[in-house]
Each structure stands twice: as C-alpha cells, then as structure tokens.
Chains A and B, each alone.
Chain A
C-alpha cells in the first residue's frame, strides 16, 4: 500500500531541503537514510555557499553566472546555471530565516569570502563549519515539521512499474533494514534520490565520508534511468598527504600559498580547482613534495577563520600550521556526473527525481566552483521537493512491488552464500589505487583501458567474494560489500565515459590529448543500460 506521496532517499542537505519543500507543498513525506541525517557528507562542507549578495565588495548575479559557466568549460547548461545563480540570494535568505548561524560583517550582514574561480567575495560562510551548521539547522526544521525520518536503512533498488503506454513509473524503493537484516518495501507515489556522490571509488585517495559510495546512482541506472558526465571527477588540490582529509579552499582564499620542496610557489593558488590540482600533480611527478603555507596569516586569523584546519593538520600530519608547512596532495572530492534530470529535477522514469551530488543538473559541467555545491543542494533540493509533491498529487496508478521484493530478498539471502575466496576489502583498496593513478588528475588511453580490464575482471569475481560475516543483525560487513558492488558498477561507467572522451576538458584531463575538441566533444556523455548492457552516447 502507498504509504506516502514523496519518499526521499538520503538525508544530507539536498534530501532535507527536498523533504521540507515537498512537505510545504502539502505532500506526505518520508525520509530514509543509511546513516542518521546529521552524519551525512554535507557536514563536511567548509568553505561556504555562493550568492551574489555583494556584502563584501561589489558583485552581481551576472558575474556569478559567468564564473560558473567559465569553470564548467562548455558543459554548463546556461538556463540551469542562470536559474541557480538567480535563486542564490533567496536561498541564503531562506537559510537565514530558519536560523543558520552564518558569520557576520561589521555592518551586521552575512559575511562573504572569496573562493577559487570567483571574481568576488561571494561565499557566505559560518567559520569553517558552513555545511555542519546548515545541515543541523535543516534537521531541526525537519523535526519542527514532524516529517518522518527512518534511519539505518540501506537502499537496495527502486520499484518501477510500466503504464499502458509502456512507460516506466516509480512506485517506491526497497531497503535493507541494517538493524533487523530484513528487506523492507516502502511504496510511494514519487521518489527523490539525494544519496550523494561516488568519490569513495578512490578509497583512501578521497576527501569524502566513507558513505559516498554512489548507491542511489547505481540503483538508478539499474532501474532504467540515464546517467551523464560520469567521467568528470573533481580533485581538491589540498588534502592532507597521508589521510586525504580536506583542508578547505578558504585557506588559499585567505592568502595561503602552495610551495614545492624548494620552497617555491609554482601556480596561481586561486585558479579553478582543476588547474591547481594539475599544477600540483605535475610537481609531484617531478619528484617534488607539496606544502600549503598559511604561517603568514598568523595565529589569531587561523584560530578565528580556520580552526578545523589547524586541529586536523596537528592530528593527522603532526604539524602545527601556525608554525609549520602542511604536507598536501590532491584527492577525489566531488563527482560532477550523476543521474540525468530535466529542468524540474525529474529523470526519464516518471516520478523519480534527483537532487544534490547524485544528480547532474549540469550546473557544474566539467568542473565545479567551490561554494556552488551547498548552493546547488538548496536550490535544486527545493525544486525536486516541489516537483515531486506536484507530481504525486495527480498520481493514481497501481503499485506492484512484489517482483522487486522477491528479487531483493533472494539477493540478501543468496549473497551470504558467496564463497569468500577473494577478499573484497583488498579489491576495494586496489581499485582506489589504480583509479587514483590512472583515472585521476591526468589520464591517458592505455591506462584507462587497463583499469577497465581490471574492473571487468573484478565484476566476474564478485561471486567469489561476499561478506564473511553471516549474521543478520547490524551486519556492516554485508552493507560494505553491497556498497562495494555499487562502486564496481559505477567504476565501469566512469571508465567507459573517460575512454570515449578523447579530449581534455575541465577535470577530465587526458595527457595523451591535452586540448579540448569542441567540434566532437562539447557535449554531455550519456549512459544507460539496455537488457543489462551498458550503452553510451554524446548529447548536446
């Protein structure tokens, strides 16, 4: 039986904004997450949220649009980018109205700082806890609105049915209840996917939470949705060398320098992330070690504006940035590609919507600007919530979840009988390493094809892996194995897209073809599955 109008999968910033807006539009909303809402990736966003408020010097919406399109390197959708940048001041105003504790200026306005690729100080921030404070305030709002939240349920698949014209429509989703070990079916008129990105393919070379495993995206292509621009993966220039823990761009925005082993600066620290990451990568390949230097900013400034950075550098690298250089390397940070959506955030499956990092609204194109992802989750989270509520008002189709339930119950039962002759944790680490070295900042045809071969081999070996822990209750070994399966599925897609794009554009840099080729490739990579076979094409 249909339990709700709008089922939101994922409870990070995008999911919570979507839920609040669907609720406001009158829909019965349910949120389901594999963790708890406040534990999501959004909590880690530090730098800020872009909006042309002009609180710290002159700025304009036009400049915000122009900067975003420039960084997107020909793959930004002008209509979507314009919409996002125009909505930005309203989005910040809304967050302020629900109580987000932004930092303030002497004139009592919301403080703004400059991030890479921006022509003005445009990122509204809350010390270096911008994402944390936004996320928690959204969660408090969800409680105030009495929206139902179900925790610790892991998405397995979407439920789809077919109408009389042969068109697929959504009917809910299936989950593994992590606590009970049972498969649960949640029927709904519409589903909003807000499950985050897939940077954890790079494993220890990613700044992301261990939960960013692309579950919602992998389930989307299995259900018949299309994905786009999956080869575009942003490497953040400054992650701590050993742990890949992020050091915020605001450290460079405030005047931090990048130095090599000789103590020389070698790049413009405030260029877009893809350029800075490439410059660092080139130095590392010359044998240099790279450091971030913020000593000249002074102890007072560092404690006031970058307190997390100081704490993390001390803990993980044993250096105090007030007195010492911070060893860094670029690490996988954000996945621009995702579930293909239209200008109402809907996918090709009727009633299936997506927002946040898992979706591709084509606002980041080939490279995302710092400060645009927190903006995206609020603007398009709201759009997805409103669209889904609107769609579900006129939804009167029957939902049959029995087939999907049976399949997923069989899978959960069967996966425990996988033979365990190969350790999937070793393979997970292995994929992270070969992806970082061959599908990372600089790529070339031969390396990409070798990795594709390795991934296809691992796909064949999956039945020889599986969870060692056979217990039913709170089996995180099982959850991690299913996450691994999703990442293997997406790895193949990233590779097929990267191999097809014979040019360099934004974050996709091919050292064997270092130029862009607008005639052939100023287009989005689209992938889908037909009878289980992966298909790829380019589309303007």
Chain B
C-alpha cells in the first residue's frame, strides 16, 4: 500500500516535498505505518506520538486535508498525510503546539479559586462531562478558519475549556471569566462548525461558544458587531441573539 507524506526540513536548507512510501500491509493504523517508516525505511521522518489509544493528544495530523489522530486512523491506499495547520511546522509532521496552548493562558481557562463544596449532583457532572474529555490535540485549532483573519483569536479548545469551568458549579467568579473572553473571543467565531467536525472526542466548541454567548448576555455583555452596526446607540438593549430587546 502506498501513502504520501509531506516532509519539511530546515537542514541544510529549507525544503519541503511530498514523498511516497510503500507500507507493510500489516500496519493497521497510520501511527503504526509512521513507526514502520521510521524504524524500517527512513529514521529521519519526524512525528509526535505517545499513548496509541487516543488520549494523549500527540499525534494529530491532516489526512487528506482532515484533522485526524494518527493512532485512530486506518490507512487507505493513496492517503496524503500533512502537518496540522495554523501552527509553525518544526519538522515534517511536528508542529509547534506551544503556539496553540498559549491560548489557554490568555483565556484564563482554569477555576478561579479552590472550591469548598464537595457535593455536585449528577446533573452538575453531566454539564461539562464531554468538555472535560478534551485531549488538547489541537485538531480544532488547525481546522478553525478565523485564524487567517485574526491570529489573536482565543480559538475553539481554549473557549471550550472556559465553558468547562464557568459551567461548573464550583466556579465562583463567573463574571470575570466571561469578561475575559469578550475581546478576540466568543464574538469572533463565525459558527462555521469546522471545529466540531475535527474533534476526535465528540466535543463541539461551536456549541460551547454559543452557550458562552448566551451566558455573556446574561452578564450584560453583547455582540460588539451588532453594537457597531447599530452605531452603538442601544447600550445594553439587546438579547443574546442580537435582536433588539425593547
């Protein structure tokens, strides 16, 4: 079976090329195929991997243009493998994920203080059960088209993480958490849903961003785009869907 891999190196000079590899039929997953290439054909091939079971978030790449975990993809004849988008490529399939992770810091994606309560209901638990399954593989970050126009956008996984904490019964400072995501945050999303399609864990950042928008409205924030289009004249007079509330 043949697959193609986009190679990239800076040594001795910057080069990039699509290389075809003949893979042992025994390799089932893309990660097994990459390991086969590295240990048997070309040890210079660079990629990240860890757990092999879709929880460590190391091995996300593009397969035929779609974000995919290498360990969970069964290879097919002619698959084209490339590094994730929106992050600088370090070498071959390895990208600088630090660029993406920095947005967790900017979004202040954590619980504000230590909670005293020990009791949470099953209903409380279910509210952010799926969001806390995030493995930080950066697939959603790669799929998001907003970065081509706004490189400061907090992005899908960081905003999902903010929802994971503000929706938690243990969070005591919802207001400041919400305030922090107004600029370059929830209102910059176009709700295109690419992040939902890309997520290997079944998380919908788009859905979480919508929930954060309605929570923002409840806290008295509004969509700056609408405020602007109305000349900014209706201060505080909008519902969360942007419709005038008078």
Chain A interfacial positions (CB closer than 8 Å to B)? 35-36, 38-41, 43-44, 93, 96-99, 101-106, 108-110, 126-127, 129, 132-133, 136-137, 140-141, 143-144, 151, 179, 209-211, 243, 245-246, 308, 311-312, 315-316, 425, 429, 467-469, 471-477
Contact = CB atoms under 8 A, between A and B. Distances in A.
Nearest to B164: A101
A467 B46 CA distance: 13
B51 A44 contact: yes
A243 B31 CA distance: 12
21 contacts: A36-B58, A40-B50, A97-B115, A97-B116, A99-B110, A108-B122, A110-B118, A136-B132, A137-B132, A141-B111, A144-B111, A179-B90, A211-B50, A308-B55, A312-B53, A316-B28, A473-B9, A473-B10, A474-B46, A474-B90, A477-B38
A38 B53 contact: no
A430 to B, nearest CB: 12
Nearest to B107: A143
Contacts of B29: 315-316
A384 to B, nearest CB: 21
Given A44-B55, A127-B129, A474-B46, A38 B136 contact: yes
A308 B200 CA distance: 12
A44 B94 contact: no
Contacts of A127: 129
Contacts of A211: 50
Nearest to A92: B118
Given A36-B97, A101-B128, A108 B56 contact: no
Nearest to B96: A179
Per DSSP, chain B at the interface is: loop
Interface stretch (B98-106, B208-216, B228-236): B98-106
B49 A101 contact: no
A210 B49 contact: yes
B91 A108 contact: no
B78 to A, nearest CB: 21
Interface residues of B, number: 60
B133 A132 contact: yes
A132 B109 contact: no
Contacts of A245: 52-53
A39 B94 CA distance: 14
Contacts, number: 157
B223 to A, nearest CB: 28
A129 B55 contact: yes
Contacts of B94: 474, 476
Contact of B110 (A102, A103, A140): A140
Contacts of A469: 43-44
Contact of B55 (A36, A132, A468): A132
B193 interface: no
A106 B136 CA distance: 31
Nearest to A179: B90
A106 B135 CA distance: 28
A316 B52 CA distance: 10
A35 B168 contact: no
Contacts of A103: 125
B129 A38 contact: no
A311 B122 CA distance: 24
A248 to B, nearest CB: 11
Contact of B101 (A36, A93, A246, A425): A36
Contact of A108 (B44, B49, B105, B119): B119
Interface string B71-83: 0101000000000
A98 B51 contact: no
Looking at A101, A105, A109, A471, which has the most chain B CB atoms within 10 Å of its CB? A101
